[in-house]
Amino acid sequence: MPDYSERRRFDIINKSISYDKKTEKITFVSVPDPRRYKWIETKDGQVKLFDKFDNVAFSEALVKEMFEKIGKLPFYYEPPGIEDIDNYIEGRKSVLTEVLRGKNLKKYNTERNRDDFINNLKKDIWGFVILSLDIVKSTSLLTELGNKKYSELVSIVLSELTEFIEKFNGGYILKYTGDGMIIYFPEPGFISKNDLAIYCAVGLRKIIYDCINPIFKDNSLPKIDVRIGLDSGEGYIQAIRKTKYKDKKELFGRVISFAIKIQDTANPGEIYLGEITEKNIHSSWREKCKKVELNNNFDLRSADGKIYQIYNLVI
């Protein structure tokens, strides 16, 4: 199993260099992504590729080796399923409004996205990205609204998020946490799953703040705040009980507890990432990440004992 803390993605872009009108053939060349890399000359005259995000430099020979490896690696690409989140939200507004006004909660079923992926895994260790989402100040909301009304609203919120995830490729709901949810994005394609998880997190946040909250406001209901945390790494799949037909398996591991802790650290409306997730997302996302200042009392540590760094995805 790879050490995910040591994994490093290499971002490239394809530049078109010629086009044959007769054959409609396009010739392109792959180059390091200039948003992340630049060529530099060191004091001893060596030409190296400098990574502006990770502050490291690679020799020309190593860059050539990386390009050769990229060409031999299997290519995993999973489209998110929802390409235009804003357009998706517009389509959900009328549905959500009808549900609120008719209180027809039977339209929703928050169990429908419980996926059988984990139960069918043959290996005991797998690579995952974990997304943890939590409704902020849920106890205050419960006190303000009362049990019945609060339960109805949380059911609507979680069901609307479930509706999105159900249509979103690559992510599955691991469990509901009463006032939140935990979603997992499994291998293969560990690098692409980090990008999918980030895109999903942004989508979930937009649904809350651009769809649910405006409609809640129109119906004299309180604003909902959420915080989101993500982390990446290996998870352990263990059978916890036997059912009539097969073992019931569960996912365990540091990556889950870290994602939850990272989510707990975030402020309302924010998306926080662990350092492994941040290192494995595309340059277009890394440009938007800001290091979170942590004190020495922060209790998440990397394998070398150092404080595990967290980043804020600035929306």
Is 19 or 107 the better-scoring residue by pLDDT? 19
Whole-model pTM?
0.83
Average pLDDT of the segment spanning 216-221? 86
pLDDT digits (tens, 9 = 90+) for 1-31: 456 666 778 888 888 878 777 887 888 788 8
Q: For the residues 113-119, what does the mean pLDDT come to? A: 57
| Region 71-79 average pLDDT | 62
Q: Please state which of the ranges 155-159, 214-218, 241-245, 278-282 shows the lowest mean pLDDT.
A: 241-245
Compare 148 and 292 and report the one with higher pLDDT.
292
| pLDDT of 191 | 80
Instruction: Give the confidence band of 245 by pLDDT, cuts at 50, 70, 90.
Output: low
Q: Where in the chain is the domain with CATH 3.30.70.1230?
A: 85-313
- What mean pLDDT, rounded, does the chain reach? 83
Sorted by sequence, the CB contacts under 8 Å of residue 144 that are 6+ apart come out as 222
Peptide bond into 188 cis (omega under 30): yes
Q: Which of 22-36, 40-54, 153-167 has the lowest mean pLDDT?
A: 22-36
Please provide the size of the chain in residues.
Answer: 315
Note the CATH number of domain 85-313: 3.30.70.1230
Residue 99 has pLDDT above 70, yes or no: yes
Query: For residue 268, is pLDDT > 90?
Result: yes
Burial track 178-202 (b if 16+ CB lie within 10 A, e otherwise): ebbbbbbbbbebbbbbbbbbbbbbb
pLDDT of 123 over the 70 cut = no
pLDDT digits (tens, 9 = 90+) for 162-208: 989 988 877 888 888 888 999 998 877 778 889 999 999 999 999 99
What does the pLDDT read at residue 170?
Answer: 78
Question: Given pLDDT bands bounded at 50, 70 and 90, which one contains residue 240?
Answer: low
Instruction: Check residue 109 and give its pLDDT.
Output: 46
Q: State yes or no: pLDDT of 104 exceeds 60.
A: no
